[in-house]
Structure 1
Amino acid sequence: MTLEGSLEARVSTDGDGTGSPAVAFRFTVTNTGAEPLELQFSDAAKAEFVVQDEDREVWRFTEGRAFMQMLSAERLAPEESTTYDGEWERPRPGEYTAVAELRAQEASCEARTEFIVPD
């Protein structure tokens, strides 16, 4: 999915809660433009991960967590990617949608993927 003109995003899951107490998320953001981009962040949480059951939110990565308040920046050259990770511990069995969103100050993009946590 491309938003903000020159950012493309995708999210994937590693694991399904089977044999592991968690589902890991990998959110990759790529600069598809011809110019370098500088992503500015106001805290250490550079990406948000949300798990939805249909339209109902069942888990949010940043909920109940504290993140260091610090200004930082990441520069992405044309066609360069960066990846952010999150983890949902003790997921409940079911069919879900994972939504990942970049938390940069002046750029935004998001990606979605469906996944299943078996019984």
Structure 2
Amino acid sequence: MLDTALEVTVGDGVSFCFSVVNGGDTPIELTFTDACRADFAVFDGGAEVWRYSDGRAFEQTLTNADLQPGEAADFERRWPESIPGDYTAEATLRVRERHVSARTPFSV
């Protein structure tokens, strides 16, 4: 069982911290599909206004990682040119085994 949380900090730009915790009793193996590991997007209603991975190239390599029981992995990114408004942030772990994501509303 993977527990997720997405924290948004508004200041000079918008910072995102996506935490993924193994809430189970056994290790969980994750296979990342590329070097990005986690992607972040910002939505205004249903329209996507920013995505971290847009316009970027990532090494295409499979990488395995084990999360032990109770262990957390944190992924951080920044939206530097934010625009005032009300949004929803979404973070997605880029792994093959399962869909792992979190969403949260925020305002700039």
Where structure 2 has 5 or more consecutive residues not aligned to the other structure, the ranges are none
Equivalent residue number for residue 104 of structure 1: 95
After TM superposition, give the deviation of residue 107 of structure 1 in Å.
2.2
Report 1:27-38 matches (<5 A).
27-38=18-29
Instruction: Specify the alignment match of 1:42 in structure 2.
Output: 33
* Alignment counterpart, residue 8 of structure 1, candidates 3, 13, 16: 3
- SS of the residue corresponding to residue 29 of structure 1 reads strand
Aligned-pair identity (%): 42
How many residues align? The count is: 108
Residue of structure 1 equivalent to 2:47: 56
Question: How large is the Cα RMSD of the aligned pairs?
Answer: 1.1
- What TM-score comes out, normalization by structure 2 length? 0.93
Gapped regions of structure 1 (runs ≥ 5): 1-5
The alignment status of 1:115 with 2:106, answered yes or no, reads: yes
Structure 2 counterpart SS, 1:66? coil
Post-superposition, which runs of at least 4 consecutive aligned residues in structure 1 deviate over 6 A?
none
Residues 59-117 of structure 1: per-residue CA shift (max 9 Å, x gap): 11111111112221211011111001111111111011101111111122111111111
Where do residues 13-24 of structure 1 align in structure 2 (5 Å cutoff)? Answer: 13-14=8-9, 16=10, 18=11, 20=12, 22-24=13-15
TM-score using structure 1 length = 0.85
- Where does residue 67 of structure 2 map in the other structure? 76
